[in-house]
Amino acid sequence: MNFLNFIKPLYYEFLAKFVPQKVRYKRYGECIKCAKCCRYMYCKDLGSEKEFRFLQFIYPEYRKFKVQGKDENGNYVIACSLIDKDNLCPIYPKRSNICRKYPAPYFKSPGILHKDCGFYIKPEKTFKYFLGK
């Protein structure tokens, strides 16, 4: 193994500590109306099902969602109970903000989208931009 190949990632990781601006990720593409996100939404910040029930109490628009379980990383997964067999939302023109904004236009981390989703996420600025190259 070449020593330079080993040390180079460590060097770049060290340089990243001095980047004054954090990387933001941006959403690109468009919805292809597959309804995968409606049936399987990741909730990284959700602590428990009890916490989700509390959110449903405070925010009535969350009441149409139900907890499906957890993914392989331990994140809660929620699904909309309104989606019909044709993958359509019966209240689409009046859908809630959580649906209108999903997936968010900007992310602090790379995020997870479903395979074959019409959206994709890329860094707003590349690492080379931060290195000045």
- For 52-77, the pLDDT digits (tens) are 899 899 888 889 999 998 888 888 88
Distance CA 130, CA 133 (A): 8
Residue position matching structure tokens 């193994």: 1
Check pLDDT > 90 for residue 99.
Answer: no
pLDDT at 64: 92
Condensed to tens digits (0 to 9), the pLDDT of residues 1-52 reads 566 666 777 777 777 777 666 677 888 898 888 888 888 887 777 788 888 8
DSSP 57-105: HH-GGGGGEEEEEE-TTS-EEEEES---TTS--TTGGG--HHHHTPSPS
CA angle 53, 43, 49 (to 5 degrees): 25
Every domain of the chain and the residues it spans? 22-131
Distance CA 67, CA 39 (A): 10
pLDDT at 110: 64
pLDDT at 65: 92
